[in-house]
Structure formats: C-alpha cells, structure tokens
Amino acid sequence: MKEKKILVFAGSARAASVNKKLAIAASKIAEESGAEATCIDLADFPADIYNGDEQAEKGIPDSIRKLKQLMAEHDGFIVVCPEYNGHITPLLCNTLSWASRSENDEKTMIAFAGKKAAIMAASPGKLGGVRVIPRLRDTLAELGVMVVPGFVTLPNAMQAFDETGTLINDAAAANAKTVIERLIQTL
C-alpha cells in the first residue's frame, strides 16, 4: 500500500523555535507510525504581508507557488503553531492567506481541498499554547481542512527537548503519537 504523505510545518521561522523542534519530533513519530513525513521550515517560503494590490501587480510569489504545490502533493498536514496573544502567528496567517489564493485556471483551494490535519502548539509557558488550538482548528476548517479530534500542547517547551532535539516530555510524546496515528488512519 502507498505510504500516506504528511507535510509538517510550524508557524514560527525563528532559528531556535520550540515549535519547529516539535514539528521535527512530530515528523519522526509520523515516520515511525508508517507515514512519509516531509518537514519544512516556513522561513524557506517567505512572502510579504498579503496585499491584494501586490497579487494583482506581481502575482503569487514563487515561494508560495512552491509551497502550494508541496501542500497539494501531500495527503495531510501536521501544523504546529506558537500562541501569540492567544492567536495563531502572523507568519502562519500570512502564509495560509497567500496559499489560499489561486491564479489562472487553477482549481480553487488546491493546497487545502480534501486535506486532513493534526494540530499542535508549544510554549515556554505552563499552558503549552492551549489557547491557540481552537483558533488554529477554525482557521484550517475555514480553508476546507478537516482537523482530526484531539491536539497536542507542549508546556515548558524550553526544557522539553534534549541536546539532540529529542522530545523528552513523555506525556506530550505519547499524546503526539495518538493524534498522529489518528491522522494517518483518516488519510
């Protein structure tokens, strides 16, 4: 049977991002659970803050065209997002806004149509970014992505990885496995 393909990305471009570390850990869990995981860094897909005038003048940035293509080629997503004042980050919002735009005779929402996702958050705080979870679920749902039940939060994230980047919060790792296996079953 063909392996299910999962695209994994975090809503932070920060070099030392704990959400990027969680995305990498989630990719490993997805691979161990039998999926093919591609972990990307949104820093490699830069785009100006969305402005319709810019799209009308210059079209969709090449970086976003590449990202949309990648998204379309995968069956599902794992989206890991920091909580900024309870919300998703400007980076994730901007990237998803650009990715929702179509051009020429392209099918609408080609990057999102029929996709399933698992959602996660990491924070240095005690609540693990839990307040972003419903916002992230809604954002993806509005784009046509079905988010599987459950979610992962990683509190005290600065202490949650060892020097090799391994997730050493056993409860979060076990929860991530459950949610990722659930995602894979739906693909």
Ligand X SMILES: Cc1cc2nc3c(=O)[nH]c(=O)nc-3n(C[C@H](O)[C@H](O)[C@H](O)COP(=O)(O)O)c2cc1C
Enumerate binding residues for ligand X (CB under 6 A). Answer: 12, 14, 17-19, 82-86, 123-125, 127, 129
Query: Tokens 């039998």, residue?
Result: 34
DSSP annotation of 161 reads B
Cβ proximity to ligand X: between 75 and 83 the closer is 83
Shortest distance, position 18 Cβ to ligand X, whole Å: 4
Nearer to ligand X, 122 or 180 (CB): 122
Smallest gap, in angstroms, from Cβ of residue 72 to ligand X? Answer: 26
Q: How far is the CB of 105 from ligand X (least distance, A)?
A: 37
Nearer to ligand X, 12 or 100 (CB): 12
For residue 165, how many other CB atoms are within 10 A of its CB? 12
The residues, any chain, with a CB within 8 Å of residue 88's CB and separated by 6 or more, are 11, 81, 132, 135, 136, 139
Question: In angstroms, what is the minimal distance from the CB of 121 to ligand X?
Answer: 8
Q: 124 vs 150, which CB is nearer to ligand X?
A: 124
Q: Where are the beta strands (DSSP E) in the chain?
A: 5-10, 36-39, 76-80, 116-122, 146-147, 152-154
